Homo-oligomer: A and B are copies of this chain.
Amino acid sequence: MSLRDVYGGDVLISGWAHSPFGRLDATLERLVVETGSAAITDAGLEPRDIDAVFLGQFNAGMEPLAFASSLALQISDGLWGKPATRVENACASGSAAVHQGLTAILAGTAHRVLVVGAEKMTAAGAQVVGAGLLGADYDLAGQSSSTGFAGLFATVARAYNERHGDCADTLALIAAKSHSNALANPYAHLRKDYDAAFCGTVSPANPLVAAPLRRTDCSPVSDGAAALVLTAEAVTSATHPPVRFLGVGHANDHLPSSRRDPLAFAATELAWHRALDQAGVDLADLSFLEVHDCFTIAELVLYEALGITERGKGRQALDEGWVLREGRQPVNPSGGLKSKGHPVGATGVSQHVLAAMQLTGTAGDMQLPRADLAAVHNMGGLAVANYVSVLGR
């Protein structure tokens, strides 16, 4: 089984590009144009070869322009008249754009699609960013909150502590792994060698953001963009061999938190199994994973929701070294959202780009020795919108 068997056609990642993530001078337009343009070039194509454009962007007031789909047309007059669409699924907006691009290729409405994920956050100021991110929560949208979106994931950590015992040290191990991996990632926002002792200690340099989450448990506010060119057929002039979608899954959960068990990530699990079943692979077949660690507690729960460990036993994945860079199944060898940064709409596209780099042996210092089969997991809200892609060479 694979996506091709189900739908009768291939979808390939034929080109990609990635901006640095961080506090950047570049405007949203420049991020979209430079990264989109570089991805088209990387695919060995000209702008006029592109049939459709999908932009993943959350926005939510962080950028004054509320109608950004056509920004990619600024790349070149060759894109004039192309259909361009913005898609939004909160922090999964990037994967939403990837999956819409994939759908267009399967439909035959496009043969070569430019997918750009981008977010400009740092120009808006902390208050606007905080309010924007809270706009992704059913109960808190439009309300004020001293702890912002971190407060939401702090409730997950507290629920974890209650149900399975104190996870503070485990979260510090996840943070330290993330920081260590990001040292090799030239696109990462945070490239600091913070060890588990630093991450596990509340200090002036690592204060509590929303108890029990410390600063090192939270992904930073970043600007950035990533882009992919998806094609139905391999492009002979492309810079790299293509990467193939073997399976995809997308599942949404109910929006009100009262209708979800905060530790279940139930619709993540559903999307995960949809993608793996479609690809005809098991967890053990995956060489590595890029997952949505907006907060360290999210990565811990994901070890359990994705079946890497039993429920409540996520720490085992770290103690046994399975998910470390040198382990049998690295999780977030890029540094993940936590250290790479999380420019909301860019994140899902970035995860696909970084997986594609690994699978084609072009990940530079990040390169894993074994990278045959990857899974990407991206979520919006607290496991509300969930996307999984299984990628192979």
In the complex, which of the residues B67, B106, B136, B138 contacts A108, with contact meaning CB atoms closer than 8 Å? B106
Beyond A7-B107, A83-B252, A85-B100, whether A384 also contacts B70 by CB under 8 A is yes
Beyond A64-B142, A135-B66, whether A250 also contacts B106 by CB under 8 A is no
**A161 CB-CB contact with B under 8 Å:** no
Chain B residues, CB < 8 A from A106: 107-109
Chain B residues, CB < 8 A from A67: 58, 60, 88-90, 135-137, 141, 255, 380-381, 384-385
**A96 CB-CB contact with B under 8 Å:** yes
Type the 1/0 row for A67-85, where 1 means its CB is closer than 8 Å to any CB of B: 1011101100000111111
6 closest A-B pairs by CB: A64-B142, A66-B135, A60-B66, A106-B107, A83-B250, A107-B107
Type the 1/0 row for A334-376, where 1 means its CB is closer than 8 Å to any CB of B: 0000000000000000000000000000000000000000000
> A59–B65 Cα gap in the complex (Å)?
12
> A65, A66, A109: which has the most chain B beta carbons within 10 Å?
A66
The answer on a CB contact under 8 Å between B85 and A87 is yes
**A300 CB-CB contact with B under 8 Å:** no
The answer on a CB contact under 8 Å between B141 and A82 is no
Copies in the complex: 2
Chain B residues, CB < 8 A from A74: 254-255
Q: How large is the interface on A (under 10, 10 to 19, 20 to 34, 35 or more residues)?
A: 35 or more
Chain B residues, CB < 8 A from A270: 81
In the complex, which of the residues B66, B86, B136, B254 contacts A61, with contact meaning CB atoms closer than 8 Å? B66
The answer on a CB contact under 8 Å between B96 and A85 is yes
> A103–B107 Cα gap in the complex (Å)?
6
**A229 CB-CB contact with B under 8 Å:** no
Type the 1/0 row for A1-37, where 1 means its CB is closer than 8 Å to any CB of B: 0000011100000000000000000000000000000
